[in-house]
Amino acid sequence: MNETVVDAARLRAFVADILVAVGVKAADAAITADVLVTADLRGHESHGVARLEQFYVRPLQTGEIAARAELTVLHERAATLALDANNGLGQPAGARAMEMCIARAREAGSCIATVRHSNHYGIAGYYAMLALPHDMIGVACTNSAALVVPTGGRTAMLGTNPIALAAPTARHRPFVLDMATSVVPSGKVEVKARRGEPLPEGWAVDGEGQPTTDARATLERLYSGQPGGLMPLGGMEAGHKGYGLAVMVDILCGLLAGAGAGPSVGFGAGLGQESQAANVGHICAAISLEAFGSAEAFKASMDEYIDALHAAPRAAGSERIMVAGEPEAERTEQRLRDGIPLHPQVAQGLQALGDEFGLACLF
């Protein structure tokens, strides 16, 4: 069966229509659709429209996620905001938190916001990138349901807790780091399991906490609450560093925000065995370039810096030295031009949802 190719703008409108059909306000639906389609454009299909039904539509229908929640302010200072998503969709909460940060950073120079009582919000990089057109550096992190085993342990205690930072450039594509603090996200284990391939050493541990290469068994453990799980970034050699980074993200997104943390972050979205609200937490920050000097000078220095990395001597067999965000930006340009390829199962699922809600055919 072949891939179905779909235009990004059409896909975005279709996803938004489905969200509106299950009670989401139009503005929130537009943001959520944009986050999901942006993930597909950037090549992070595991965080894209493939998750629409299971992560968002069904939980919105059951009320597990509140369709019409408002983001409320708990505490505020010149350079801080503590926000509550009130169990609404993570995407509008994350995007609005960053927009509020940007507004404050325009005066104070920087601002940090936390969001509690939220839900899975897709790619963290999306929120960091919102700062770019404002000549600001954007930072975004989120915690997530426990899939990662701490160093010395054998059960998942931490989410893949990504760290994202975006920095503007003039001529080059912006720097956009968006990385799980595990060696790999769970989506890569899914792909290996689907293909019947073994995992590389250092991705996962089994129920005894020992390294394993069994993709299918690892995948089953991830969503069942059984011991075993993903290894933190650094793997067998330096996994304590990825473990430390995952805890750092949890301290900021969970404990500082007043959200869940560690194994108490719900799987939400019907994936796990818990029925209460997911209580995911996020943190974001905006840093104004003008507060540190000239934004133009910063962006010119970014270009020179990236030039130097591009021109650095390459390893034998290496074709390019790239900078974080470049592969995703190139893929976005190509997919905006040629359309987004969808796995046939994903296309079928979307069409079935469209039929369910009486929408016009997408394909």
CB of 157 to its own copies, least distance (A): 5
Q: Of 225 and 270, which CB lies nearer to its own copies in the complex structure?
A: 225
CA-based nearest residue to 110, from 72, 75, 130, 138: 138
CB of 151 to its own copies, least distance (A): 7
Which residues make Cβ contacts (< 8 Å) with residue 72, sequence separation at least 6? 83, 84, 86
Characterise 19 by phi-psi region: left (phi > 0), alpha (psi -120 to 50), beta (else).
alpha
Q: Of 179 and 191, which CB lies nearer to its own copies in the complex structure?
A: 179
Q: Of 21 and 166, which CB lies nearer to its own copies in the complex structure?
A: 166
CB of 268 to its own copies, least distance (A): 20
Residues shown for the chain: 363
CB 250 within 8 A of CB 148: no
Element (H, E) at 75: strand 72-77
CB of 263 to its own copies, least distance (A): 7
Q: Which residue has the tokens 């290496």?
A: 318
CB of 341 to its own copies, least distance (A): 23
Q: Nearest-5° angle of CA 124, CA 178, CA 111? A: 60
Q: Of 207 and 272, which CB lies nearer to its own copies in the complex structure?
A: 207
CA-based nearest residue to 283, from 145, 143, 114, 144: 114
Which residues make Cβ contacts (< 8 Å) with residue 326, sequence separation at least 6? 173
CB of 227 to its own copies, least distance (A): 6
Q: Of 56 and 267, which CB lies nearer to its own copies in the complex structure?
A: 267
Q: Of 155 and 348, which CB lies nearer to its own copies in the complex structure?
A: 155
Q: Of 77 and 171, which CB lies nearer to its own copies in the complex structure?
A: 77
CA-based nearest residue to 354, from 1, 8, 4, 19: 19
CA–CA gap between residue 138 and residue 188 (Å, rounded):
26
CB of 287 to its own copies, least distance (A): 6
